[in-house]
């Protein structure tokens, strides 16, 4: 189940026509919450308070996250095994999710929260 942190609608990832998509999104979430993302970037912080957001807030651009997503896609295409390629692509999804969060926060004029 996925819901908005601002109290918006909650969605169940149960549509049989989108199960493969749900699986990929759940694996990207798992990587961020329990895998490489948690180990390297979280420092016990919420996803939206991690360095990719605070640095983007200071710079007033999501360009760094866009760069990271593109870099991960490029790296994935050169890796020798499917497992490593998929891991990099899941990381790219997480950076793109960070861009969505940045955009939604910027739209709501929450810029002060980026650096707080």
Domain segments of the chain as ranges: 2-115
| Predicted confidence (pLDDT) per residue in 4-62, tens digit | 556 666 677 889 999 999 999 999 999 999 987 666 766 788 999 999 999 999 999 99
User: What's the pLDDT score for residue 116?
Assistant: 45
Q: Which residue in this structure is represented by tokens 């490593």?
A: 84
Degrees to nearest 5, angle at CA 44 with 40 and 48: 85
Contacts with 90 (C-beta within 8 Å, 6 or more apart), sequence order: 24, 27, 28, 31
User: The whole model's pTM is what?
Assistant: 0.82
Integer Cα distance of 54 and 49 in angstroms: 6
Farthest-apart Cα atoms in the chain, separation? 43
Query: What number of H helices and E strands is found in the chain?
Result: 6, 2
């Amino acid at each position: 189940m996925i819901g908005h942190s601002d109290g918006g609608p909650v969605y169940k990832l149960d549509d049989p026509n989108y199960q493969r998509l749900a699986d990929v999104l759940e694996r990207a979430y798992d990587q961020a919450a329990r895998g490489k993302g948690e180990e390297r970037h979280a420092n016990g912080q919420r996803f939206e308070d991690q360095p990719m957001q605070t640095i983007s807030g200071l710079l007033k651009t999501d360009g760094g996250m866009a760069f990271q997503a593109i870099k991960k896609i490029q790296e994935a295409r050169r890796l020798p095994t499917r497992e490593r390629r998929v891991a990099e692509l899941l990381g790219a999804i997480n950076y793109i999710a960070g861009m969505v969060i940045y955009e939604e926060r910027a739209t709501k004029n929450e810029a002060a929260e980026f650096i707080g």
